[in-house]
Amino acid sequence: MDKTEKKISFGLAIIPFLVMIIAMTFVIIVFDGDPHIPILFGAITAGFIAWLCGYSWIELEKFIYQGITKVLPAVVILILVGLIISAWIGGGIVTTMIYYGLKIITPSFFLPAMLIISSVVTVMIGSSWSTIGTIGVAGMGIGISMGIPPAMIVGAIVSGAFFGDKMSPLSDTTVLASGIAGTTLSQHIKHMLYTTIPAYIIALIVYVIMGMKFAGNAVDTHVIDGVMISLQDNFVISPWLLLIPLAVILLVFKKVPALPALTVGIILGFLVDIFAQGGSVGEAVNALQGGYEIETQNETVNNLLNQGGLDSMMYTVSLAMVAMIFGGFMESTGMLSTIVEQILKVAKTARTLCATTVVTSFFMNVITAEQYISIIIPGRMYASSYMEKRLDPKNLSRALEDGGTVTSPLVPWSTDAIFVMSTLGISAWAYAPYAVLNYCVPVISIIFSLFGFSIVYKKKQANEKKNEDESMDVSL
């Protein structure tokens, strides 16, 4: 029996998604658990339906391995990201950047400063949660002492943190999106500039205007001084150390493959830890595995610096592999294509396909409450459609992040929003209106897509395909 004879109907194909969504609702929202098991429930359901429709266990096992294989390049980079975070913390690179960043805070410039500092920190370390749990906590104390409404503070922090989460070459979501879509990390990041930079400028302008009314407020510098003194007491701080992350980012943008670029960053951070910070070789090696560890008198500094390492990436690695087991079943059995066929009845052109991808990624956040799933599942759903329309895969990777990465904290029941509330004490219902960048990015992305701006076709026959797409738009 060949694949065409085993075609699974839309009604059956949608069942694994429904099972996963229901399981996600209970496990994440009700039981405060993780998304791994709900995804496995969906995968088991998909496998069972495929078996009922005539697929053998040997075929299903092959589909599992095929799905996992597709995410392996991203897994390798994720491992290197864990190593580079611990190396840069041990080398004093992160602390140097935090130290000089905190110096620019003034009452009238507090909100835009939170946007800038949060975005820079996250670009450097690649983790929005780490930024929110450290810079965010410190920023809340500082901002409240200035009389700034907490929801505004959180909105600026979330905007900056998820800008960095989206644009950092060290971010797991950035790596996943480029890997799932099949484009290079540097091309993915460059293409996201079209939609992300306008949103960042809009957010910056809004925060500058909002901050003007706080210009006359008094400042309690106790929190800032405490962090800066603790950093000085435990690390050698020098602007020269910032050359290391700048070198890695420059390598990525110069089209050096991600693996050697990240490896250079790890080696430089490791050497600086030993020769500039005075760390031992043994401690530096152990930090690469289990993460950097330090105990200071300042709790905010402890929360910031105790992280990184290969072990810290295993959560994301396991989630990516579990998700691709589900994706392997759904894609190889034709269930994804059956679902996509229904969706593509609306998305008939390249422009509407890109816009539809953004919307789909957002709704994946809504129904699964998990940022990674909003990238992985739509990425596999639409990959073949982008190929058929001769769209460069960086269009897909950008749409996944425009609709998935930045919208996750806007969904009150998502893992990101729950983390923000548990860390900073403000719910998404309150801070979402002030998270300007997070809702500007998908809106700008949809508008640009519908007007055909920054949509890139594969070089071969690009002009012919573009003309064909424009003709279809006119006919519609």
pLDDT in tens, 332-346: 888 877 877 777 677
- Residue 341 confidence (pLDDT): 73
Among candidates 437, 451, 474, which has minimal Cα distance to 198?
437
The predicted pLDDT at position 1 comes to 43
Low-confidence stretches of the chain (pLDDT beneath 50): 1-4, 461-462, 468, 471-476
Under 8 Å between Cβ of 203 and 436: yes
Contacts of 297 (CB under 8 A, 6+ apart): 230
Angstrom CA distances, 335 to 9, 46, 193, 244, 388, stand at 8, 9, 34, 46, 18
Phi-psi region of 454 (alpha: psi -120 to 50; beta: other; left: phi over 0): left
78 and 175 in contact (C-beta within 8 Å)?
A: yes
Q: Which two tokens stand for residue 40?
A: 């496995």
Q: Which long-range contacts (CB under 8 A, 24 or more apart) does 99-106 make?
A: 99/228, 99/231, 99/232, 99/237, 100/237, 100/239, 102/138, 102/224, 102/227, 102/228, 103/228, 105/142, 105/224, 106/219
Give the CA dihedral 318, 323, 324, 330, nearest 10 degrees. 160
Identify the CA nearest to 179 among candidates 397, 383, 403, 458: 397
Q: What is the pLDDT of residue 441?
A: 95
C-alpha distances (whole Å) from 215 to each of 105, 111, 209, 212, 459 are 12, 11, 11, 5, 52
What six digits make up the tokens of 434?
């002030």
Query: Helix 243-253 crosses helix 93-102 at what angle (to 10 degrees)?
Result: 100
pLDDT of residue 3: 47
Residue 222: which residues within 8 A CB-CB, separation 6 or more? none
Determine the Cα–Cα distance for residues 75 and 460; give it in Å rounded to an integer.
Answer: 31
Please write the tens of the pLDDT for every residue from 66-86: 878 877 776 787 788 778 878
Looking at the DSSP assignment, which residues form a beta bridge with residue 457?
A: 391
Residues forming a β-bridge with 391: 457
Task: Give Cα separations from 54 to 8, 11, 44 (angstroms).
Answer: 10, 17, 15
Chain centre distance of CA 362: 13
CB 379 within 8 Å of CB 400:
yes
Q: What is the pLDDT of residue 134?
A: 66
pLDDT of residue 145: 65
